[in-house]
């Protein structure tokens, strides 16, 4: 595993531990701002069909460690949460041109693209950054203050995703936020 990926996993691990005490007040503020400014607006998640409710399990704490050190292609994974957590596996179908709406999560998500292509929009400073993930690939969303929108840019094919999420117990899985206005056409 390259150093960049190791830093990503280390950051994810630290974020998972930090969410309950550090990020919750800010996330609640984002949620309240989003709710007040989107009341009465057209549903931004039209065409986005997620399991209701998603598969869920409660864990008092989580410890996972794995290592394959027999070659240059090390596979090292470390997931740890010292706080009670809810683990979700969510299945999503996005209609052609459907999207998730702008949102974040109070914990990390590992997303697998089963079919179609996921286009993820995120804001970095004052720029709109777009990443595409075709079937058979995936991405990690660190959660916390990482605001993003997932879209099916195809006008003809559906998009199918699975998300594995670790959320501090008692917090909502998804926090809707106001469109930052930096990605024209969304």
In whole numbers, what is the pLDDT of the chain averaged over residues? 80
Q: State residue 33's pLDDT score.
A: 37
Kindly report, residue by residue over 145-162, the tens digit of the pLDDT.
899 999 999 999 999 999
User: For residue 162, with 0-12 CB atoms within 10 Å meaning exposed, 13-18 middle and 19 or more buried, which class applies?
Assistant: middle
pTM of the model: 0.74
Q: State residue 70's pLDDT score.
A: 66
**Is the pLDDT score of 24 beyond 60?**
no
Q: Which of 108, 84, 82 is nearest to 166 (CA)?
A: 108
User: pLDDT confidence of 92, banded at 50, 70, 90?
Assistant: very high
**Is the pLDDT score of 8 beyond 60?**
no
CA-angle at 41, arms to 39 and 47, nearest 5°: 120
Q: In whole angstroms, what is the distance from residue 98 CA to residue 90 CA?
A: 17
Q: In whole angstroms, what is the distance from residue 32 CA to residue 45 CA?
A: 18
Percent of the chain whose predicted confidence (pLDDT) is above 90? 60
Kindly report, residue by residue over 41-81, the tens digit of the pLDDT.
345 677 999 999 999 999 999 998 888 766 666 678 888 99
Arch. (CATH architecture) of 3-176: Sandwich (2.60)
Per-residue pLDDT, averaged over 3-27, amounts to 40
Q: State residue 69's pLDDT score.
A: 66
């Amino acid at each position: 595993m390259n150093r960049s990926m190791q830093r990503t996993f280390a950051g994810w691990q630290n974020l998972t531990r930090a969410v309950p005490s550090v990020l919750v007040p800010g996330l609640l503020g984002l949620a309240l701002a989003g709710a007040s400014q989107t009341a009465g607006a057209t549903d931004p998640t039209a065409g986005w069909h997620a399991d209701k409710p998603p598969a869920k399990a409660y864990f008092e704490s989580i410890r996972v460690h794995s290592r394959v050190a027999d070659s240059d292609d090390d596979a090292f994974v470390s997931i740890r949460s010292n706080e009670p957590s809810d683990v979700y596996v969510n299945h999503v179908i996005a209609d052609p041109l459907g999207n998730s709406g702008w949102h974040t999560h109070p914990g990390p998500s590992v997303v697998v693209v089963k079919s179609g292509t996921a286009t993820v929009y995120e804001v970095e400073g004052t720029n709109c950054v777009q990443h595409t993930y075709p079937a058979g690939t995936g991405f990690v969303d660190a959660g916390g203050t990482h605001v993003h929108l997932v879209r099916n840019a195809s006008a003809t094919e559906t998009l199918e995703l699975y998300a594995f999420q670790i959320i501090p117990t008692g917090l909502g899985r998804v926090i809707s936020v106001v469109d930052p206005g930096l990605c024209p056409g969304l």
